[in-house]
Amino acid sequence: MNDPNASSSTTTSSSSTFTIVAICAGVLVLGMIAGAGLWMTAAMTVALVVAGGAYLSSEWSENVVAVRQDGLPSIDEAPTNDDPESGDLAVRIGSKIPITVAVTNRGKLPVAWVLAEDLLPRLTATENEESDSASELYRAAPLTIDGPRLQVLSLWPGQTKYLRYTIHCRRRGYYQIGPTVLETGDPVGMYRRFRLGTRPVFVTVLPKIELLSTFEIGSRRPIGEIRIRANIMPDPTRLRGIRQWQIGDPMRSVHWAATARTGTLHSKIYEPSSVIGSTLILDMHVDTNPDRHEPFRTDLAITAAASIAAALHDAGEPFGLATNGRDAADRVREEGFRGDHRVSDPFRQRSSAGEAAKMSVTNDRLRPVIISVERGPVHLQAMIRTLARLERTDGLTLAEFLIESESRLSNETTLLVILQQAPPETIGALVGLARRGWAVSVIMNSLDLNEYTSVAGPLMAENIQVSHLSDERSILDVCRQQMMRS
């Protein structure tokens, strides 16, 4: 993770250096003209201090390097670098990640001081930081650290010192650990230089998965794999019996062998069936996922989706994902990591480096995140990691998203929509899908029973099943309701 080519720059601009040198030269000339030896001595001293400070700060900055030596555990206690979209590491909630950064002086001169800091995301707290309540800590600190991530070090030639601390992952998400910023300067403080010692590590904290014993979601499709109790559409591959032909029976359903044998028209009777599986649709728009409910309600929706996907996988059923949220890994890939930071203000140099190295918080996204309907453990792993990285967005609303992505959704599975709020345009979009033949089911992610009933009423009037997701304990109840819908 070492970046030997990382740029370094001084906090005093070249114009400031030129000004100091010009003043010293002017004092020296005046001293020579006036015959004042004290002026000449002062000018020479200042010139030597400026030159020596510039040389020392440059040497210290170029010769101090940082190397990340993390024993980073993954889900199987091994690094997971084979999936670039998942970052460098994937861990579960509650995991502790040991971080070690070695800072070494490779030069021949001792370094009086170097400030080494491993940057972490905002809202990271220390383990001993107290909060007024557990909910506040949960809201404010997705990561907590134990140990110093910032130290001022002095190094002899060839000496190595370490930054050691532990990160405790408390919530699902996609987090940038690092980069390590090294800052040093001359002994009198006239020059300050910095560089990026290591590049960042991206950690994916996977959501919780509630284990379910059975789960079944039936889609009202004409040909399928399982039998349903509601006689919605017949499956021509499943012959249940024959009966006498009635007015309105299509000619293709006539059982010609029985008709020839009895001399009376008979029709085939088919068993109704359904295609199993589900396409999970998550609403992640900021307007319908308000800040006052965050991050609990969004994380609850992610947990429910991950649990349903795991249950469908265990049952050997197909599943997919579609959401208007933002994939944090995709955002980082598009916006990139800026490793060269040069500013003219000496008091903002280090803070500007840190701000530029942080993950951007821009959250407008117009391209949906869609994972096609498939089966298998690899598909489940990709879906769980995508769910872990999802963030709220200012882009498409759920109604706009359904219109935009309808042609890309699987019409052979149930559309299982998880949302917090349903404005009239969202209800209209869901009703429109149901009337066009889609199998639609809704999970209302709300603690307020009044909000649930206000949304459930118009949807149930259109025969759309609505379940209430109030907390983690209700995930199992929601799944049982979805099992019984057919």
Tell me: do 401 and 303 sit in the same domain.
yes
- Residue 290 and residue 261 share a domain: no
Q: b/e for 198-231, b at 16 or more Cβ within 10 A?
A: bbbbbbbbbbbbbebeebbbbbbbbebbeebeee
**282 lies in the same domain as 263:** no
Q: Are residues 236 and 281 in the same domain?
A: no
Q: In this structure, are 202 and 309 located in the same domain?
A: no
CATH number at residue 321: 3.40.50.410
Distance, CA of 404 to chain centre: 23
Residues 162 and 304 in one domain: no
Span 96-153, pLDDT tens digits: 999 999 999 998 889 888 999 998 887 777 766 544 444 454 456 889 899 999 999 9
| 334 within some domain | no
- 264 and 372 share a domain? no
80 vs 49, 239, 260, 313, CA distance in Å?
A: 50, 50, 67, 22
Same domain, 120 and 169: yes
Residues of the chain with pLDDT under 70: 1-21, 23-24, 27-28, 30-32, 34-37, 39-40, 42-43, 70-87, 127-140, 212-238, 240, 271-276, 333-366, 479-486
How many angstroms separate the CA atoms of 409 and 321, rounded? 9
Q: What is the pLDDT of residue 16?
A: 58
Same domain? 38 vs 127: yes
CATH number, domain at 201?
Answer: 2.60.40.3880
The residue assigned the tokens 């720059």 is: 9
Q: Is residue 91 part of a domain?
A: yes
Do 248 and 291 lie in one domain? The reply is no
Residue pair 204/460 in contact (Cβ under 8 Å)? The answer is: no
Number of compact structural domains in the chain: 3
User: What's the DSSP call for residue 86?
Assistant: G
pLDDT in tens, 31-64: 667 666 676 676 677 777 777 778 888 888 888 9
Instruction: Give the end of a domain, one of 256, 275, 294.
Output: 275
User: For residues 202 and 230, is the Cβ–Cβ distance under 8 A?
Assistant: no
Q: Which of 199, 205, 192 is nearest to 348 (CA)?
A: 192
Domain of 193? Answer: 9-206
With respect to residue 131, please indicate whether it lies within any of the assigned structural domains. Answer: yes
Per-residue pLDDT, 220: 44
Tokens of 258: 């029985």
Same domain, 315 and 461: yes
235 and 193: one domain?
no
Could you tell me the pTM of the whole model?
0.72
